[in-house]
Each structure stands twice: as structure tokens, then as C-alpha cells.
Amino acid sequence: MADPDGLQHVGVPLAPEVSKSGDILSISGPERDLLCALSYVHLACGQSAHSLALLRIAAREHSNDVGLLRILAYTLIAEGLGEEALHMLDRLDALDTQPSSRIPMTLLRSHALRHAGRMAEAREVFQTYVSLRASTALIRKQ
């Protein structure tokens, strides 16, 4: 439809696109990247609930994307959802085989345990994190 100035306006569908079989169409890689970027901005601005909503949409279809799941775990912790974050961290442990991920994931696990009300475990995991950091700092100095 054109307005008096000759500009063309395109209507935006309110419902998600649905295939003929009734399934909701999948989220492409660039769309996933956009959702992650928007969620990161929301998270950085202190709007973790908005961030969480966007990440849940992306994670529904990209459930093995380690980077997305890391951000999701962090966002769950920011929202105080410790038990759910622990489940996500368990999943990341199975998917993420990079040795460099061990230290930051240990710190996230400590925070998730704290939010889940498991303080003794949180302290123990935090001490593991401190030990891992100290050992890597010694290796770097040599």
C-alpha cells in the first residue's frame, strides 16, 4: 500500500511463519546471531529477563550451540535461576570439550550453586576455581 508521499508500506505478519505441515519455520544462522546479539545488549543493560526470552527462542532450535548455551547459562544466573543454570552447565560440560572452558565454567557453576541455595557446594566449587586460576597463572609465568 502506498501513502500520499508515494512511500510503499509493507505489513509485518504478527504470527510466526508456519509451513504447510503446520510446523514453525526454523531459525537460520543469521537470525540466531541477531537474537544472540540483541540478548547480549539486553543483558549488558541490566535487562536479563528480556535477554533470557530471546535466548530461549534461539536455543530451542540451536540446542547444541556451545556459545549460545554459555550466554544462556550466564543469563539464567543473572536472573537468579540457579537450578536451571546448573542443568545448562551440565549440558555444556557434555558438549564443550575445550580445556580453556573449564575455568570460566567452574566459576559459573559456583554462582549457579549459590543462586540455587547450595552454599557449601558453591564455596567448594569456588575454591576449585581459585586453585585452577592459580595453577594456570603459575604456568604462564614459567
How far apart, in Å, are the Cα atoms of 96 and each of 16, 60, 67?
32, 18, 9
Global confidence as pTM: 0.75
Is the pLDDT at 13 greater than 70? The verdict is no
Rounded Cα–Cα distance for residues 124 and 108 (Å): 13
Quick check: 102 and 111 in contact, CB under 8 A?
A: no
Query: Looking at residue 24, what is its pLDDT?
Result: 60
Give the tens place of pLDDT for each residue, 72-130.
999 999 999 999 999 999 999 999 888 888 999 999 999 999 999 999 999 999 999 99
Residue 124: CB partners within 8 Å, gap ≥ 6?
Answer: none
The DSSP secondary-structure symbol of 8 reads B
Query: Looking at residue 6, what is its pLDDT?
Result: 56
Reduce the DSSP state of residue 24 to 3 states and report it.
Answer: strand
